[in-house]
Amino acid sequence: MSDNLQHSLFLSKNMIFSGVDFPTRDEILNYLASQFVRQDLVKESYPAAIIEREKEFPTALAAKAFDIAIPHCASANVNVTSMAVATLAHPVGWYAMDDPTRELYPHIVFMLAIKDPKKQLEILQKIMSIIQNTELLTGIQEASSREEIFVLLDPVINR
Amino acid sequence: MATKIRVLSVCGSGVVTSHMVANKIVDLLEEQGYDVDPDECNPSELEGYLMRGNYDFIAYSSPIGDHGDVPAFSAMGLITGMGDDEFVEQAVACLKAHGK
């Protein structure tokens, strides 16, 4: 029952990671994707699918605030529509969505697990509004704990 | 009456980013008097979609290959929100040039 309660939120507090510190993009992707597996939000295939998809179609973009990344993969790997947020202690090179030869340095990673994109337009619109909100992105980047980040994002994403 | 147009939104997965983009195009062009019927695909599906559908333009957030004579515009400005006006100008100019 408590599991269901937890999973009813698109972004739960335990899927927020402040100051994630790995030397490479793939390690960051694997770490975050594994958290979804631990919570049973995705299938075992999800981490590999995320890493492969990133190689073929990268997901970093230059938002107005600073660079961010929105890794995601095919919905077949997803159990529950959900999201993870990570601020990075040391931004690493990450290729741009619109130009896989251009390296960006995301400060925040929003990893998405979307089960049925056609039915989840509202969530996609919320993510787009976050990408475009410089004040919010700056607040997330400057936050020092998952609690602080949750307080910023909960009203935007979960309501 | 709104002019009906068809738009193909292309992204890496063909579902997530392209769906965000398609929805935004529907809203932005509705304000300009267009009734947008959007489709979404990934770059490897592009050729098949272009063969089957008659699109007024393509909006892409991942690089695309050959798209024949269908006009194509980058959708990155729509995702970041920094290029909404520019995108609408480009799209409307293109549609008007084709008599729509």
Taking only the tens place, the pLDDT of each residue in B51-61 is 999 999 999 99
B63: nearest Cα among A101, A127, A118 = A101
Under 8 Å CB pairs connecting chains A and B tally to 67
- A58, A62, A117 ranked by CB distance to B16: nearest: A117
Tokens 């009906």 sit on residue? B4
Q: What is the mean pLDDT of residues B34-54?
A: 96
A125-157 per-position pLDDT tens digit: 999 999 999 999 999 999 999 999 999 999 999
The nearest CA of chain A is from the CA of B41 a distance in Å of 12
Distance of alpha carbon B88 from alpha carbon B94, whole angstroms: 10
Instruction: Tell me the DSSP string of A29-70.
Output: HHHHHHHHHHTTSB-TTHHHHHHHHHHHS--EEE-SSSEEE-
Contact flag B82-A64 (C-beta cutoff 8 Å): yes
Contact flag A124-B16 (C-beta cutoff 8 Å): yes
Question: Which pLDDT belongs to residue A2?
Answer: 43
Question: Which pLDDT belongs to residue A120?
Answer: 87
In chain B, the percentage of residues whose pLDDT exceeds 90 is: 96
**Other CB atoms within 10 A of residue B90 CB:** 17
Low-confidence ranges of chain A (pLDDT < 70): 1-8
Tell whether the model's pLDDT for residue B38 goes beyond 60. yes
Chain B neighbors of A136, CB-CB under 8 A: none
Write the burial class of residue B77 (CB in 10 Å: 0-12 exposed, 13-18 middle, 19+ buried): middle
ipTM field:
0.91
Question: Which pLDDT belongs to residue A4?
Answer: 45
Question: Which pLDDT belongs to residue A49?
Answer: 97
B44 touches chain A (CB under 8 A): no
Distance of alpha carbon B62 from alpha carbon A58, whole angstroms: 8
Bridge partners of A16? Answer: A85
B65 touches chain A (CB under 8 A): no
A70 touches chain B (CB under 8 A): yes
